[in-house]
Structure 1
Amino acid sequence: MTLKTTAFIFLVGWLSTSNLLAQSLELKALGANEDATIILDALGYQQRFSDFNSLELEVNSIANSLSHLGYLESEFLDLKKVNDSSFVATYILGKRYTTARIHFDTGFNRKILKLVSNVITENYFEVEINSLEASLKTLNAEIANTGDPFSKLQLTNIRKEAGVLYADLNIVAQLQRTIDTVIVKGYDKFPKPYVKRYLKIKSKQAFNLKTIREKTEALENLQFAAQIKDPEILFTKDSTLLYIYVEKQKSNTFDGFLGFGTNTDTDKLEFDGYLNLHLINNLNYGESLRLLYKSDESEQKTFDVKAKLPYLFGSPIGLQLGLNIFKKDSSFVTTTQFAKMDYQFDPKNSLALGINTQASTNLLDNLNLTINDFKSTFYNLSYIHIRPQRYDKLFPVNFQFDISAGMGKRTIEDIGQSQTKLELNSFKIVNLNLRNSIYGQVSAAILDSDTYIENELFRFGGINSIRGFEENSLTANLYAVFNTEYRYKVSSNLYVNSIIDLAYYENQILDLKSKLLGLGFGFGVLTQAGLFKLNYSNGSSENQSIKLSNSKIHISLSATF
């Protein structure tokens, strides 16, 4: 026999012997009677072991399992060796206790007991024995979240009566912790007021880890920053440091669209479009600047600029400023300016109070009774509620409610006219499942006045209003638009949608009341360049049938950089 053959036989023999030894010890758990043995078998304990130490650990584990099940008087009697490979462990189970009644003092927070018990009185609560340990861990975690992370719960004066376990609950409390320092990691220039005012996390605030995690989730609602991992706490002997992990996001957008359709008068193809630049947090202050220029097929030009400065000097007050210049062919030009002071209650709700001034000039040489020079001043109160839709790049906002009311006066040739305005813009996405959703938007406005002139009326229609009509081609002193879309997500970056738009408007100058309908379809795709959208729509009024020649195709691309 060669040396290699001998070594191979030895190796195979050694592996076979080791395998047999690894499975050579067996354990059987027995009770004082057959019923007790059945209960032990139901525990599903391990029965085969590679060594005696593992077997002993399982014997102790069985005893602990019996206690957790409520056999509080159970005892491990002995472990007998039947032969070289078999052992028998004997247990006495005793009486089973199913309920634990835990007494607490009057200073205990009874609200957190609802997390673990359905039976709560003025001085005790009840839980099942098999969930007692888990219940105490839950209560201890809640107490830790309220500012005492090192507190411990103890059961004292334990006693058993009539199948019920009785005990007193004591809290071994430490000195309550407060947040001493908040440190932002990952985005060192993150605007400091957003920690105190937006997240509402302040120094010397009572430490509550659960509340902190809930507050930092609001970072997902910011366009310019996102949370990259859960906050962490560093406890030292005399201070508590809170670390928030944030990274800066691309938030600037450049939006534009190209629209074309057939002019019903000339039967020629006409183009319209706009450019929309939105700059956010470029100065690391959380500020935003929006610049819009629009030119459409009705020879209308719009220049609009808005700036928002949040949390001025670290206060909860923000400032909004805006300028809008609108020119209607050679008829008139209107300049609007506004200033608002807003108060952000929380990441979802804000209230603003402001002033709006307007001046319009008649550019026509001939006398036009419906267009006139005027000046107006309005004092406005507005409220905005925004509810985001997390982890959805295509539709980041699920619900928005924006309402504004104003009172003011319009002056024509030193003759004043009191007026009121009310404007509403609200939308909601109803998610039917992961792929299907329904989008609904309501836009409405009313100008209440004894008399009206054309250049003060609301202008609507187009891609951002009722689709299928020319941009800003409709004028009204009262209008309401209801936009609906059924959306189907083909993938996380692509969707298709239907278009059904309804509108009603009134124009008292023309003594006109009319209903409008817009129908169509579209799609959107999120590319590396941004969100590309294409909509095909056709509009008609109640006195006009749908004509394919009136169809509008709108193309837009919103690029993020």
Structure 2
Amino acid sequence: MYKLFFFIFFLLFFCSASFTKANDRVYLKILNEEGHSVSPDDLNLEKSYQHINLLKQALSRSLSDFYGDGYLTATFDDFTVEDDTASVVFISGETFKWIKLSFDETDPFLMSNLRIREHQFEDNVFNPARFQRLIDRILRFSEQNGYPFAKVKLDSVEIENNSISAQLIYEKNNLILYDTIELLGEPRIHKNYLSNYLNIKEGRVYDERAVKQVGRRLRDLPFIEIISEPVVFFTNEKARLVLQLRNRNASRFNFLVGVLPNNEITGRAVITGEANLELMNPFGRGSRLYLDWQRLQARTQNLEVHFQYPYLLGLPFGIDVEFELYKRDTLYLDLHRELGIQYLMGGNNYLEAFVRNSSTNILSVDTQQILQSRSLPSRLDRSENIYGLKLNYEALDYRFNPTRGWASFLEGAIGLRNIVRNNTIVNINDPENPGENFEFLYSDKEDATINYRIKYHLRRFWNPAHRFVIKTGMRGGVIFSNDDLLENELFIIGGNRILRGFDEASIFTSNYHLFTLELRYILETNSYAYLFADGAFLENPLREDPFKRDYPFGFGAGLTFETAAGIFGVSYALGRQLENPIEFRNGKIHFGYRNYF
């Protein structure tokens, strides 16, 4: 019986709520001053509204429109509500116009930069919002050019026959210059670096834009933490920025161990590894030193050294030096040396012009293959000078584990490649021409070849629900040439960094585009569990059809969690390539550790 009672109670309550909601709708009736009916459409209004509050908001917006057209005395009078009908009387009043707005007392420099002209206000409708925007522009320009205490007011205001004339008075007050930055706490950072980074230098004209960006830009620095919000004190026509900061552990040591159960080359389990050391701000001037060593496959290793030093000579330019050594089994050795000049745009954002020298030394030559084919192999000694540009731009809420924002990287380069004769190949005796060797194979390799390279990496982070983050990404590279490409010129991808689910550095390609979708569940600031999928399109011109093009994909799951000892990570990934079936025994397992200090 009680169930029936509650059912009837719920039904009555629901019907009552629905009936009340339906009866909340209000119909609008508008009259003019003469008592004639006015259509709501003429005033950009609806004939009815779901609730009385929505109607009042609509009436307010309608009046704002009329004010913007110069009807400064427009109003809705005699507002009454009877049953489901609201009645109002609309009085438009007359339009007000500018006769003249004089700028005789306004700074000519300001007038010229803001492109303000008196004729813009002659015989024009008086629009309060437009006039307020003018005042805001003047004050904003003043704040950005050393006059944060500037004032604007109207004088000699006259209103006759709905026509307005006035004089605009502009008072700049004192010119404000930056004083030195004052640091509280004991941050391991030099004032000169902060001054350059924040673009707040002693003796320069005060700019409100730079001051408003101080907090955000300091949060972009991984090695500094803000104790309290920045404060500006104005004394004796000087603006002194006071920062209370402390050091934050940003230098890190990482290592990663990968287990490849069934390597496609050896057929046995292979242990891969990576160790890197990154020193952030070691000298207190924002520099960065990065060392990275990788064992990608059996007898394949990579060493990278990277050094960046910002704000040379107090200018927004930095130096970027890279060295990389890559040894591919017993086949060849690659050396890359790079020098770049960066234009610094704040945070981790920069535009860089660079020159790179890249060379390959062949370590072993298959002489039998050359004798049989009477042609050069796909791997050759070479030397190449490369010139290019890089652009890096980030807008992330937290660099180490972002939940919102995006990041982008783009590189474009052109290189002049020369083939270097290999003595082992040259000295092969030609069995078809006794007394001759194979030097003739290099006869069509005398001229330099032009190579073009493009690389990009885009990432986007969304936070659709509490603790859930969606990461999407796209990265790729293209290399093309006016001659045949060599195997040791191609991009090498695959593994934990690029295209998970595959052996490390196992895929050679001249053209690849990788798409990533990742779902993260945030556990703590630096901890999260995730599912991922990587899909790619790639080309290798050295393969025979139908294997020149492929559409590999990988998927898996992982966990990254922070402890007092550091950040640990584990992931498992599977991949499919060249239409081969997915096999769980080929899954790739990676264990990682990261420690900040």
Q: TM-score of the superposition, structure 2-length normalised?
A: 0.67
Q: Deviations over 1:161-185 (max 9, x none)?
A: 6789976442333232222434444
Aligned to 1:84: none
Name the SS of the counterpart of 1:455 in structure 2: helix
Aligned to 2:491: 458
Greater displacement, 231-240 / 475-484: 231-240
Q: Is the 1:337–1:358 contact (alpha carbons within 8 Å) kept by the matching residues of 2?
A: no
C-alpha distance in 1 between matches for 2:226 and 2:382: 47
Q: Is the 2:387–2:414 contact (alpha carbons within 8 Å) kept by the matching residues of 1?
A: yes
For the pair 1:477 / 2:510, whether they are aligned, the reply is: yes
Aligned to 1:306: 306
- Residues 454/237 of structure 1: CA separation in 2 closer, same or farther (3 Å cut): closer
Q: Deviations over 1:499-554 (max 9, x none)?
A: 22122333333334122111222233344444433222111113211111221122
Name the SS of the counterpart of 1:395 in structure 2: coil
> 1:333 deviation in Å?
2.2
Greater displacement, 444-453 / 382-391: 444-453
Aligned to 1:387: 394
Report how many aligned residue pairs link the two structures: 462
Aligned to 1:105: 103
Q: Is the 2:177–2:239 contact (alpha carbons within 8 Å) kept by the matching residues of 1?
A: yes
C-alpha distance in 1 between matches for 2:359 and 2:146: 54
Aligned to 1:408: 416
Q: Is the 1:374–1:412 contact (alpha carbons within 8 Å) kept by the matching residues of 2?
A: yes
Aligned to 2:453: 422
> 1:309 deviation in Å?
2.0
- Residues 111/430 of structure 1: CA separation in 2 closer, same or farther (3 Å cut): farther
Aligned to 2:257: 258
For the pair 1:375 / 2:408, whether they are aligned, the reply is: no
- Residues 193/236 of structure 1: CA separation in 2 closer, same or farther (3 Å cut): closer
Aligned to 1:354: 355
Q: Is the 1:438–1:484 contact (alpha carbons within 8 Å) kept by the matching residues of 2?
A: yes
Code of the residue aligned with 2:542 in structure 1: it is: I
> 1:331 deviation in Å?
2.2
Q: How does 1:213-362 map to 2 (within 5 A)?
A: 213-215=212-214, 217-237=216-236, 239-263=238-262, 268-347=268-347, 348-362=349-363
C-alpha distance in 1 between matches for 2:396 and 2:238: 36
Aligned to 2:529: 496
> 1:458 deviation in Å?
2.2
Instruction: Provide structure 1 residue ranges, at least 5 long, that are not aligned to the other structure.
Output: 1-69, 72-95, 114-119
Q: Is the 1:448–1:477 contact (alpha carbons within 8 Å) kept by the matching residues of 2?
A: no
- Residues 110/154 of structure 1: CA separation in 2 closer, same or farther (3 Å cut): same
C-alpha distance in 2 between matches for 1:424 and 1:137: 44
> 1:196 deviation in Å?
4.8
Q: Deviations over 1:276-327 (max 9, x none)?
A: 1111111112211111111134431112211122222333332222222222
For the pair 1:508 / 2:507, whether they are aligned, the reply is: no
Q: Is the 2:101–2:121 contact (alpha carbons within 8 Å) kept by the matching residues of 1?
A: no
Name the SS of the counterpart of 2:499 in structure 1: coil
Q: Is the 1:460–1:473 contact (alpha carbons within 8 Å) kept by the matching residues of 2?
A: yes
Aligned to 1:66: none
Name the SS of the counterpart of 1:549 in structure 2: helix
> 1:470 deviation in Å?
0.4
> 1:100 deviation in Å?
12
Q: Is the 1:459–1:475 contact (alpha carbons within 8 Å) kept by the matching residues of 2?
A: yes
Q: Deviations over 1:168-219 (max 9, x none)?
A: 4423332322224344444565245544543222333221334422255222
Q: Is the 1:281–1:287 contact (alpha carbons within 8 Å) kept by the matching residues of 2?
A: yes
> 1:226 deviation in Å?
4.1
Q: Deviations over 1:80-109 (max 9, x none)?
A: xxxxxxxxxxxxxxxx99999895626376
For the pair 1:445 / 2:478, whether they are aligned, the reply is: yes
C-alpha distance in 2 between matches for 1:549 and 1:538: 9
Q: Is the 1:224–1:248 contact (alpha carbons within 8 Å) kept by the matching residues of 2?
A: yes
Code of the residue aligned with 1:376 in structure 2: it is: S
Q: Is the 1:339–1:356 contact (alpha carbons within 8 Å) kept by the matching residues of 2?
A: no
C-alpha distance in 1 between matches for 2:500 and 2:279: 27
Q: TM-score of the superposition, structure 1-length normalised?
A: 0.71
C-alpha distance in 2 between matches for 1:318 and 1:360: 32
- Residues 554/445 of structure 1: CA separation in 2 closer, same or farther (3 Å cut): farther
**Superposed CA RMSD:** 3.9
Q: Is the 1:372–1:412 contact (alpha carbons within 8 Å) kept by the matching residues of 2?
A: no
- Residues 126/210 of structure 1: CA separation in 2 closer, same or farther (3 Å cut): farther
> 1:337 deviation in Å?
1.9
The sequence identity of aligned pairs, in percent, is: 22
For the pair 1:170 / 2:161, whether they are aligned, the reply is: no
- Residues 181/123 of structure 1: CA separation in 2 closer, same or farther (3 Å cut): farther
Q: Is the 1:279–1:290 contact (alpha carbons within 8 Å) kept by the matching residues of 2?
A: yes
Aligned to 1:36: none
Aligned to 2:554: 518
C-alpha distance in 1 between matches for 2:160 and 2:523: 64
- Residues 552/328 of structure 1: CA separation in 2 closer, same or farther (3 Å cut): same
C-alpha distance in 2 between matches for 1:248 and 1:123: 61
